[in-house]
Structure 1
Amino acid sequence: MHSDQQIQHWTPICDLAEIVPNTGVAALIGDQQVAIFHVIDQSAGQAQARVFAIGNYDPNADAAVLSRGLVGNLGERIVVASPIYKHHFDLTTGECLEEPAHSVPAWPARIEQGKVWIGA
């Protein structure tokens, strides 16, 4: 987990309302394709919007498709299932649960004044 004090630069991506809850979108940040997910977390008994950012490229499928995957939970982990081979990627860490060697990068993400921001 990254703290806001460690982040050197935050990039605005889009309005949170532009991402349908519990889905993802792809964004190009510099030369990186990033999958950004808007998740409604109900674990604390009330609905709370959260955002996550991981690499969009699925190395198992050799395709940039993770933003189109299905969002869900495996135990306590919030994950996306790749739309091709259904490998699960942890949205907090980018870890591929079935093939850890094929994990993807993860970036800190936050919501501020209705906008999605990604930290680098």
Structure 2
Amino acid sequence: MSEVAITRTEWLQVCKRSDLVAESGVCALVGDHQIALFFLPEQEPQLYAIDNWDPVAKAGVIGRGIVAEIDDVLTVASPLYKQHYRLTDGQCLEEEDIQLAVYPVAFEGDEVLIKLDQ
């Protein structure tokens, strides 16, 4: 696992590593952003941050989605209507005009840090 050198003024602490669930998502409220965090300890990178808002279902549910690999691409399936979103860039596989925001996220020791403004 690679640790990232973090400049504190650019990053916000979201939670602790122990708050994450391996191979699954959790939600975090960062400012007024609902963020879905996915911890995949067998992958590189291990941590992904994507909008929790599903624009198709019009609900904050992405963090409850199922992580799957489709054609060697890591995705999360919305738990309501099953659209798949790439974890790397938020692009919906079924509807090319839909894309969720993704955020830089990293571990610093036991802390999970995120950068909202890209």
TM-score category of the 2 structures, normalised to the smaller one: 0.7 to 0.9
Unmatched tracts of structure 1, length 5 or more: 43-47
Once residues 16 and 34 of structure 1 are traced to their aligned partners in structure 2, the CA distance between those partners, rounded to angstroms, is: 15
Structure 1 segments (4+ residues) deviating >6 Å: none
Q: Deviations over 1:56-114 (max 9, x none)?
A: 00011111100000012112211111000111111110111111212110001111102
Change (3 A) 1:105 1:38: same
Q: CA deviation at 1:49?
A: 6.8
Higher strand share: 1
Give the TM-score taking structure 1 as reference length: 0.83
Say if 1:50 and 1:111, in contact at 8 Å, map to a contact too: no
* Alignment counterpart, residue 86 of structure 2, candidates 80, 85, 90: 90
Aligned-pair identity (%): 38
Q: CA deviation at 1:34?
A: 0.8
Q: CA deviation at 1:4?
A: 7.3
How many aligned residue pairs are there? 112
Partner residue of 1:23?
A: 24
* Alignment counterpart, residue 103 of structure 2, candidates 92, 102, 107: 107
Query: Structure 1 stretch 63-72 or stretch 96-105: which is displaced more?
Result: 96-105
